[in-house]
């Protein structure tokens, strides 16, 4: 009997329709319910390298020390310098060594959160890897995405990374103290941000001098307060 | 970029579905990649050859279906494909639009069989 060789005998098409990052989404959902059970406000902070992201987080936690109880998860290439810097603010800090990874994943964040004491905490800040492309598709279970750029990076920065800016809840323009000296076209920059990310709340700050930080703090405190149970109506 | 790890994830999902069907070979993998997925299709193709080496998907065909961004304007109730960076409704100019398509990064379907490469070679040799 002659056997017919070929795929037609047994080949079959299977519909899959599954997200490639679905595993990450499962971990992100798990993180989100853990954070929700602790009434934690969780920020995922993203920027390019050198935008002053660590300084921004450090200053936020230091200045807010008496108003909000914060912790940080830092994604860092190898050394734990950023985590050490942030620990100076008195906040709990855990480092995720990312090696050559270009983004944080939800599973890593879940493990790192396990090393933190989540009791009596108001805000958890996740400092993502310095990259405005790769992390965009990875949900970490955060409540808010904060995308930071420095005025020194130029007013066309949002045009170079439109996908990331379109996912931002907050856009921080840092280094505003030296914006003018750097030839930063502020009006064009704000227009670019508004048109690319109309959903985002924008803050112009200097993490170095503190310029504009108070508005950011007030907004952040308000968001944290929304996490707390509203006072129960009088019976 | 991280197309290699994306492709590894895709291959894991594909192998899992292959095994569920009691199949042993993957001949075709069809993916949907949205314009807003931050993934470069050409880099995926390159990564595919690397990660499938020595697996049941070695030599399989990778098909990438590119999905353009599609927005919806709630005011005009129209869908449109945005042009450029700014997602403005072409009818009313509003920026207050929803992104409906373009974030896809999916494994759509697979073609599998129960033959192994060795089976096929033996059958051909025996003729
Ligand atoms: Zn419209």
Q: Which domain holds residue B12?
A: 3-67+102-125
Reported in sequence order, the residue ranges of chain B that DSSP labels E, i.e. its strands, are 25-34, 61-67, 70-73, 78-80, 98-101, 105-113
* Distance from the alpha carbon of residue B95 to the mean position of ligand 1, in angstroms: 8
- Say if A190 is an interface residue toward chain B (CB within 8 Å): no
Contacts of A188 in chain B (CB under 8 A): none
Model confidence at A62: pLDDT above 60: yes
Say if A112 falls within a structural domain: yes
Q: How many CB atoms lie within 10 A of CB B123?
A: 16
Q: How far apart are CA B49 and CA B43, in angstroms?
A: 10
Contact A102 B2 (CB under 8 A): yes
How would residue A76 be classed by pLDDT, with cut points 50, 70 and 90?
A: confident
For A96-133, how does the pLDDT look when each residue is reduced to its tens digit (9 = 90+)?
988 878 899 999 999 999 999 998 899 999 999 999 99
Average pLDDT over residues B40-53: 94
A98-134 core/surface letters (b: 16 or more CB in 10 A; e: else): beebbbbbbbbbbebbeebebeebbbbbbbbbbbbbb
Model confidence at A233: pLDDT above 60: no
Distance from CA of A226 to the nearest CA of B (A): 25
CATH assignment at residue A193: 3.40.50.300
What total number of domains does chain A contain? Answer: 1
Residues in A 16-35 with any Cβ partner in B closer than 8 A: 16-23
Say if B25 falls within a structural domain: yes
pTM of the model: 0.89
User: Contact A60/A217 with Cβ under 8 angstroms?
Assistant: yes
User: Contact A47/A132 with Cβ under 8 angstroms?
Assistant: yes
How would residue A5 be classed by pLDDT, with cut points 50, 70 and 90?
A: very low
Provide the ipTM: 0.85
Contact B21 A12 (CB under 8 A): yes
Say if A23 falls within a structural domain: no
CATH assignment at residue B61: 3.30.2320.50
Start-to-end Cα distance in chain A: 87
Contacts of A17 in chain B (CB under 8 A): 106-109
Contact A196 B85 (CB under 8 A): yes
Q: Average pLDDT, whole number, for chain A?
A: 91
User: What is the pLDDT, as a whole number, of residue A2?
Assistant: 39
Name residue, tokens 């993180």. A31
Q: How far apart are CA B124 and CA B127, in angstroms?
A: 6
Say if B18 falls within a structural domain: yes
Mean pLDDT check: name the lowest of A38-52, A93-107, A154-168, B3-17: A93-107
Model confidence at B121: pLDDT above 70: no
Model confidence at B86: pLDDT above 80: yes
Contacts of B60 in chain A (CB under 8 A): none
Name residue, tokens 């795929």. A7
Q: How far apart are CA B49 and CA B57, in angstroms?
A: 9
* Distance from the alpha carbon of residue B86 to the mean position of ligand 1, in angstroms: 14
Model confidence at A161: pLDDT above 70: yes
pLDDT > 90 in chain B, percent: 83
| Closest CB from A7, A20, A23 relative to B27 | A7
User: Contact B74/B42 with Cβ under 8 angstroms?
Assistant: no
Those residues whose C-beta lies under 8 Å from the C-beta of residue A214, and which sit 6 or more positions away, are none
Contacts of A157 in chain B (CB under 8 A): none
Q: Which domain holds residue A64?
A: 39-227
Q: How far apart are CA A74 and CA A87, in angstroms?
A: 11
* Distance from the alpha carbon of residue B69 to the mean position of ligand 1, in angstroms: 16
* Distance from the alpha carbon of residue B91 to the mean position of ligand 1, in angstroms: 5
Contact B112 A102 (CB under 8 A): no
Query: Residue A207 is encoded by which pair of tokens?
Result: 């993490």
Compute and round to an integer the Cα radius of gyration of chain B: 20
Average pLDDT over residues B21-46: 94
| Closest CB from B85, B106, B126 relative to A17 | B106
How would residue B122 be classed by pLDDT, with cut points 50, 70 and 90?
A: low
Mark residue B86 as left, alpha or beta (left: phi above 0; alpha: psi -120 to 50; beta: remaining).
beta
* Distance from the alpha carbon of residue A28 to the mean position of ligand 1, in angstroms: 34
Say if B93 falls within a structural domain: no
What total number of domains does chain B contain? Answer: 1
Say if A163 falls within a structural domain: yes
């Amino acid at each position: 009997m002659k056997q017919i060789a070929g795929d037609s005998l047994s080949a079959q098409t299977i519909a899959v329709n599954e997200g490639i990052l679905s595993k990450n989404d499962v971990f992100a959902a798990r993180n989100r319910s853990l954070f929700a059970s602790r009434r934690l406000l969780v920020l995922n902070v993203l920027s390019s390298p050198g935008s002053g992201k660590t300084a921004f987080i450090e200053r936020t936690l230091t200045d807010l020390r008496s108003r909000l109880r914060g912790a940080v998860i830092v994604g860092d290439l190898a050394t734990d310098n950023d985590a050490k810097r942030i620990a100076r603010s008195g906040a709990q800090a855990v480092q995720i060594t990312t090696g050559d990874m270009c983004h944080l994943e939800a599973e890593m964040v879940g493990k790192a959160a396990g090393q933190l004491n989540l009791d009596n905490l108001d805000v958890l800040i996740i400092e993502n890897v310095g990259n405005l492309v790769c992390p965009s598709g990875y949900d970490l279970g955060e409540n808010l995405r904060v995308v930071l750029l420095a005025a020194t990076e130029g007013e066309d920065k949002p045009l170079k990374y439109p996908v990331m800016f379109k996912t931002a809840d907050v856009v921080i323009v840092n280094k505003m103290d030296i914006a003018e000296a750097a030839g930063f076209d502020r009006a064009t920059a704000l227009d670019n941000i508004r048109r690319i990310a109309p959903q985002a709340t924008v803050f112009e700050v200097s993490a170095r001098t503190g310029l504009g930080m108070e508005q950011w703090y007030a907004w952040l405190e308000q968001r944290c307060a929304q996490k707390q149970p509203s006072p129960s109506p009088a019976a | 970029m991280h197309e290699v790890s994306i492709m590894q994830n895709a291959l894991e999902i594909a192998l899992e579905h292959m095994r569920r069907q009691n199949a042993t070979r993957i001949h075709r993998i069809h993916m949907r990649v949205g314009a807003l997925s931050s993934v470069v299709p050409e880099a995926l193709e390159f990564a595919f050859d690397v990660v499938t080496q020595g697996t049941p998907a070695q030599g399989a065909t990778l098909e990438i279906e590119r999905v353009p961004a599609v927005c919806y304007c709630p005011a005009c109730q129209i869908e449109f494909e945005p042009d450029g960076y700014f997602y403005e409704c072409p009818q009313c100019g509003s920026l207050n639009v929803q992104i409906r398509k373009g974030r896809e990064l999916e494994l759509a379907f697979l073609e599998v069989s129960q033959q192994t490469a060795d089976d096929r070679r033996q059958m051909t040799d025996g003729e």
